[in-house]
Amino acid sequence: MAPDSPNFTASTITARTGSAPTDGSTALERRHRVVVIGAGFGGVETVKSLADTPIDVVLVDANNFHTFQPLLYQVATAGLDADDIAYPVRGVVQRQHNVDVRFGRVTDIDLAARRLTLSDGPPIDYDELVVSAGAVTADYGIPGITEHAFGLKSLDDAVALRTHVLRQFERAAVDPSSIDSGTLNVVIAGGGPTGVELAGGYTELVSKVLRRDFPNLDVRRARIVLVEPTDRLLGAFHPKLSATARRALAHRGVEVVLGEMVAGYDGKFVELGGGERIPCTTLVWTAGVKAGPLAEMLAAQCVGPGGDLAAGLDRGGRVRVGDDLTLPGHPEVFVIGDLAGARDASGELYPQVAPVAIQGGRYVAGVIRGRLDGSTPPRFHYRDKGTMATIGRHDAVAQLPFGIRLSGPLGWLSWLALHLVMLIGFRNRVNVLVNWAWNYVTYDRASRLIVGEERRARDRAG
């Protein structure tokens, strides 16, 4: 059997392994090994779907926790604690006996040797590899974004943003004249779901909570500005829901600027394409993501030395994959989730959303299992079960199958229920539910701690 044949069986796989493993085992000693990079939505689903399969699974992540990204904005706006929306990776797979966890960042993937190099510790050999390493913030080369703006892709991002905003209010409290230079202003670039949710979250934080925390500060002078380059918010939603969201945000005091893009930021002024300059010490960049750095590493090896890297990459730097989510020429490597340039039967790229990653993970686990008994599954097909965005208390928009559209309290209740169900971990669900109930009844947002001050002071002292 050719080494890259997809017709793996348990016995041929064990005997076939090319290079000697570097982790102490020999090829003939160990079972078939599937290595999964990324304990996000796609990676965790792959691993869970491989339970009770006679193979060994190694789950590698640069963090020792899974992050529930859809609620990052709540951490950033002090509605939830960081550990309410994160769950230890080892806890996720604790009861699954064929899984080993490696905490470390993958720095190299050698497709020919079927080996991963990590920033720390020994390399890992694989028989099959699933790459679900997600996306990173893309600044599109706009001046000052990387240097001065805040992204919202990780727990660190969310906590840094929350800390920064709270610090700006403290600054304004001791020097109210700084409000003129934009200390209380928050500009959000990108009118997709994250931008809309953040804008709604900030209006509640400022008008209900910080107003009481800072009674001597005129918090009504805080501007929340949402900038979107197209002519409507929530471009993936029905135009009626976009209009609903815009009205609801405007009603809550958000300045919605459509048809304009952020052209630059120097940490003091946000410059819009039309020339307007908004004084502001907080710019949140939710306007774009691109595939993470492993995408280029995979594509470069597919196109070969001197090949055109672009040929291996799709829009947004995503890795081109086949109908079965495998890397061209490498049936033993799957790419899923935000990193994958997977397309539907009509050639449309699938969106970078959690259900695509989850369904991709379930699908590749099925392919891997199918190879053990010689079956070939049909192409990957994503079933879109709808999309939602919350605007704030009692208000969300939801677009569901069969043309069902919800908004207002009904949309909000569906949003709350869905996010509770999707969260990993019973403790997290309880914590989030309790926090939401507390916030709802008291109009409070308890997670407004400024952390890291001692370390900052030590760093400043050298």
Ligand X SMILES: Cc1cc2nc3c(=O)[nH]c(=O)nc-3n(C[C@H](O)[C@H](O)[C@H](O)COP(=O)(O)OP(=O)(O)OC[C@H]3O[C@@H](n4cnc5c(N)ncnc54)[C@H](O)[C@@H]3O)c2cc1C
- Residues forming the active site: 197
Q: Which of 329, 320, 318, 333 is nearest to 368 (CA)?
A: 333
Min separation Cβ 218 and ligand X, Å: 30
Complex with ligand X: residue 132 or 183, whichever CB lies closer:
132
* Sign of the torsion formed by the C-alpha atoms of 252, 281, 196 and 82: negative
Min separation Cβ 76 and ligand X, Å: 9
- Please report where in the chains the tokens 């750095």 appear, as a residue: 293
For residue 405, list its beta bridge partners: 399
Complex with ligand X: residue 217 or 367, whichever CB lies closer:
367
Rounded distance between C-alpha atoms, residue 157 and residue 286, angstroms = 12
Of the candidate spans 13-21, 64-72, 218-226, 364-372, the one that interacts with ligand X by CB under 6 A turns out to be 64-72
State whether residue 256 is helix, strand or coil.
strand
Min separation Cβ 390 and ligand X, Å: 9
Residues 34, 35, 37, 249: which binds ligand X (CB under 6 A)? 37
| DSSP per-residue letters across 117-169 | EESSS--EE-SEEEE---EEE--TT-TTHHHH-B--SSHHHHHHHHHHHHHHH
Min separation Cβ 98 and ligand X, Å: 20
Binding residues with ligand X: total (CB under 6 A): 34
Going from the C-alpha of 24 to that of each of 21, 33, 114, the distances in angstroms are: 7, 14, 16
Q: State yes or no: residue 60 binds ligand X (CB under 6 A).
A: yes
CB atoms within 10 A of CB 390: 25
All residues at 6 or more sequence positions from 19 whose CB lies less than 8 Å from its CB, including other chains: 113, 114, 115, 125
Q: State yes or no: residue 185 binds ligand X (CB under 6 A).
A: no
Min separation Cβ 38 and ligand X, Å: 3
Q: State yes or no: residue 192 binds ligand X (CB under 6 A).
A: no
Q: At what angle are helices 193-204 and 239-251 packed, to 10 degrees?
A: 20
The closest residue (CB) to ligand X is 40
Min separation Cβ 414 and ligand X, Å: 13
Q: State yes or no: residue 364 binds ligand X (CB under 6 A).
A: no
Q: State yes or no: residue 411 binds ligand X (CB under 6 A).
A: no
Site for ligand X in 237-296 (CB under 6 A): 292, 294
Residues 101, 353, 364, 398: which binds ligand X (CB under 6 A)? 353
Residues 13, 86, 152, 217: which binds ligand X (CB under 6 A)? 152
Of the candidate spans 20-28, 297-305, 353-361, 396-404, the one that interacts with ligand X by CB under 6 A turns out to be 353-361
State whether residue 14 is helix, strand or coil.
helix
Draw the binding track, 214-233, toward ligand X (x: CB under 6 A; -: no contact): --------------------
Going from the C-alpha of 19 to that of each of 34, 112, 332, the distances in angstroms are: 15, 10, 15
Give the containing element (helix H, strand E) for 303: helix 294-303
Min separation Cβ 409 and ligand X, Å: 19
Residues 9, 14, 53, 63: which binds ligand X (CB under 6 A)? 63
Residue ranges of the alpha helices (H) in 219-281?
Answer: 239-251
Rounded distance between C-alpha atoms, residue 320 and residue 334, angstroms = 11
Q: State yes or no: residue 39 binds ligand X (CB under 6 A).
A: yes
Draw the binding track, 79-108, toward ligand X (x: CB under 6 A; -: no contact): --------------------------xx--
Complex with ligand X: residue 63 or 178, whichever CB lies closer:
63
Q: State yes or no: residue 359 binds ligand X (CB under 6 A).
A: no
Q: State yes or no: residue 134 binds ligand X (CB under 6 A).
A: yes
State whether residue 192 is helix, strand or coil.
coil
Q: State yes or no: residue 74 binds ligand X (CB under 6 A).
A: no
Classify burial at 317, counting beta carbons within 10 Å of its beta carbon; exposed 0-12, middle 13-18, buried 19 or more: buried
Min separation Cβ 410 and ligand X, Å: 18
Of the candidate spans 19-27, 182-190, 215-223, 350-358, the one that interacts with ligand X by CB under 6 A turns out to be 350-358
The answer to whether the CB of 33 falls within 8 A of the CB of 45 is: no
Q: Which residues bind ligand X (CB under 6 A)?
A: 37-43, 60-63, 69-70, 72-73, 105-106, 132-134, 152-153, 193-194, 292, 294, 337-339, 352-355, 357
